[in-house]
Chain A
Amino acid sequence: MVNKVNEIKRIVQDTKSLPTLPGIVLKISKLAEDDKSSVNEIARLISSDHILSAKVLKLVNSPFYGFSGRVSTISNALILLGVNVIRSLALSSSIFEIMEKSVVGLWEHSFGAAVAANTIAKILQLPDAEEISTAALLHDIGKAIIKIKLEEDYNQLISIIKEKDISMIDAEHEFLGTGHPEIGEWIARTWFLPEKLIEPIACHHNVKKSVIHKTKTAAVHLADILVKASGFGFSGDDIVPRIQTEAWDKLDLNEKILEEIVQETEDRLIEAKNFSLEIQTSGEKQS
């Protein structure tokens, strides 16, 4: 088990780039070429993809650009890096080929969580709404690493989940000796992402563990649960976890607010589904 954990740590350190959906890269490229497109349009498109968001944030927070640990939104990253850097980043990533349709479920789950987190932040009037959505988009980045870099282990995890009717995180601890929040945290640290994104990634299954950014962590925790409750996307299991008391209290939830959040999220998830279909179709057209 210790060997497994060390193997994962080594993989994380070696991970120079992660796959993304091809359709989105095509779209960014088109937008970047169009003089009429705005930074906001491009930022909105990039924000919808957790892998690409992660890449952009990794780059802008790298010591090379001198903003280490300070940039946590895509629109700021775009302004600092420039559209051309983003475009070449998108085009040069040669990983499209290894991208399979099987990642779509996880991608939808992450995107859905970002939509839910954004709704939560808006309705509860939380500060830093964009950072909360970004954190939600990246919250399962650890799973993406397992899926992409440890395919056999991932398949094994899925079998354990089905066989024992347990959650992905329980299966990970049982089989890998660690979980996707920890793996996500290692990656986020390797990429010098700001603490306000690291903590929600690292603590979204254990809000109590969060120290400085408890509100953001609680929002991401709730967003993850709502997307699973809604049955949108596929995060590895189909078990809705409990809303932890710390999150309920921190967000000062009650039935009425929760109802408002669910209604608005469900409405926006229809749009998210539309976007997902569109990306998949343009990906097919490209290949």
Chain B
Amino acid sequence: MQKIPLALAFEGMILAQEIKNPDNPEGPPLCGKGVVLSSSLIERLNKIGVQSITVEGHPVKIEGEKTLDEELSSLDYRFRKVKDDPSMKILREIYRVQIIKAKN
């Protein structure tokens, strides 16, 4: 499954998770799991203010999307000035786990 911004959703995608109402996240979902997206549904979700959806598969190749290795080396690069700081080591590890999770 892939979580994508609604702006990148297109007809035919299948919802892998239900969509919550942004104004009432505790209330009944707007749309159930397994629903196939139509253009009118996407438009309606947009009007309601839904920002992102989770769909089946990995249908969107986001421009400039990096591979896992590229993501991890960018992370190390961003942390290059603080690599010996104990609390920053903890933080970098948290991000590392997040990146790996998001790619699988």
Residue ranges of A at the interface with B (Cβ–Cβ < 8 Å): 41, 167, 225, 228-231, 238-243, 248, 253, 255, 258-259, 262-263, 266-267, 270-271, 273-275, 277-278, 281
Contacts and interface: CB of A to CB of B under 8 A. Distances in A.
Contact of A242 (B49, B85, B95): B85
Contacts of A238: 77-78
A41 B22 CA distance: 12
B74 interface: yes
B6 interface: yes
Interface string B14-50: 0000000000000000000000000000000000010
Nearest to A239: B81
A239 B98 CA distance: 19
A240 B7 contact: no
Contacts of A242: 81-82, 85, 87-88
A47 to B, nearest CB: 14
Interface of B: 3-8, 49, 51-52, 74-75, 77-82, 85, 87-88, 90-92, 94-95, 98, 102
A229 B79 contact: yes
Contacts of A267: 3
B87 to A, nearest CB: 5
The SS class assigned to the B binding surface is helix
B36 to A, nearest CB: 21
Contacts of A274: 5-8, 51-52
A277 B7 contact: yes
B98 A263 contact: yes
A17 to B, nearest CB: 29
A195 B81 CA distance: 32
A273 B91 contact: no
B78 A239 contact: yes
Nearest to A247: B87
A277 B51 CA distance: 11
Contact of B80 (A239, A248, A271, A273): A239
A229 B5 contact: no
Nearest to B77: A238
Nearest to B3: A270
A170 to B, nearest CB: 10
A213 to B, nearest CB: 22
B95 A262 contact: yes
Contacts of A239: 78, 80-81
A224 B95 CA distance: 15
Contacts of B79: 229, 240
18 contacts: A229-B75, A231-B74, A238-B77, A238-B78, A241-B81, A241-B82, A242-B81, A255-B94, A259-B94, A262-B98, A266-B98, A266-B102, A267-B3, A270-B3, A270-B52, A274-B7, A274-B8, A281-B7
